[in-house]
Amino acid sequence: MELVLVSLLGGALALDGTSVGQFMVSRPLVAGSVTGWLLGNPALGILVGAILELYVLVSFPSGGARYPEGATATVVAVASASAVDAPGALPLGVAAGLVWGQVGGLSVSALRRLNGRIVPEPDAPHPGRVALSHPLAVATDGVRGTVVTLAGVLFGRWGVGWLAGSWPLEARDTRGLLLVGGAVSAGVLLRTFGSVRRHRILFAAGLALGLLGARLL
């Protein structure tokens, strides 16, 4: 039952990625906390979501681009990490999520090819077909997200269950390893804001505030 619920959640969150609304409930930070809450481990869910959010900071859901799918990746990561209580569950869950984000991205590309066959040709604009084909494409996306999540959770839980118990790093080193990967995205993001020189003062001011805040809070 839990597997069905998690898969349906993945499908629902995946819809927000492109097809429905784009309210950003599909972002890892949100998807992680919702999945964690569903699985009875909200703290783990939001931690996994926050780590994956760091990785996908530079992944913009623009229509034509192929990007890792954050929603299904995060649901898979949280569901995998919560499968066993072992030190390796967190990094292996995150790794499963990163791999499955790419699989999700590939499935979105395949869906777009399928949509090209579903939607009517502009030369044959039958109103009934327009009214039906569009919701059909949306529903297909929901099914795609559900299936991708289900397969990912099965894969992730198998891998985590097999390897998590023999994880060799301590918790603090594990956290360090995961944050180093995320730091690359943060650097890339600063570059995408335009001239680094122009933003250096604001970045430095934020850094000072962050260091101060971390000491005080």
Partner 1 sequence: MTAALGRRAVASAFARSFLIQGSWNRRTMLGAGFAFAMLPALRVLSRGDAAALEASLRRHLEHFNAHPYLANLAIGAALRLESDHEDPEAVRRFKTAVRGPLGGLGDALVWAAWLPAVSLAALSLFWLGVPGPVAVVVFLLVYNAGHLGLRVWGFRTGLANGRHVARSLGAAALTRWTERVRSVAALFLGLLCGALLLGEGGLSDAGLPWAGLATAAFAGGVLVGNRLWRPAAVATVAAIALLATWGLAS
214 touches partner 1 by CB under 8 A: yes
- CA pair distance 81, 68, nearest whole angstrom: 19
Q: Which of residues 105-164 bind partner 1 (CB under 8 A)?
A: 112-113, 115-116, 118-123, 125-127, 130-131, 133-135, 137-138, 141, 162-164
CB of 87 to partner 1, least distance (A): 10
- CA pair distance 27, 52, nearest whole angstrom: 9
- CA pair distance 171, 88, nearest whole angstrom: 9
CB-CB contact of 36 with 82 (8 Å): yes
104 touches partner 1 by CB under 8 A: no
Distant-in-sequence, close-in-space partners of 34: CB < 8 Å, separation ≥ 6: 9, 13, 25, 45
CB of 164 to partner 1, least distance (A): 8
197 touches partner 1 by CB under 8 A: no
DSSP state of 217: -
Which is nearer to partner 1, 4 or 205 (by Cβ)? 205
DSSP state of 20: S
Residue selected from 2, 21, 106, 158 as contacting partner 1 according to rule CB under 8 A: 21
1 touches partner 1 by CB under 8 A: no
CB of 150 to partner 1, least distance (A): 21
* DSSP result, 151-170: HHHHHHHHHHHHHGGG--S-
Which is nearer to partner 1, 5 or 205 (by Cβ)? 205
Number of residues in the chain? 217
4 touches partner 1 by CB under 8 A: no
33 touches partner 1 by CB under 8 A: yes
58 touches partner 1 by CB under 8 A: yes
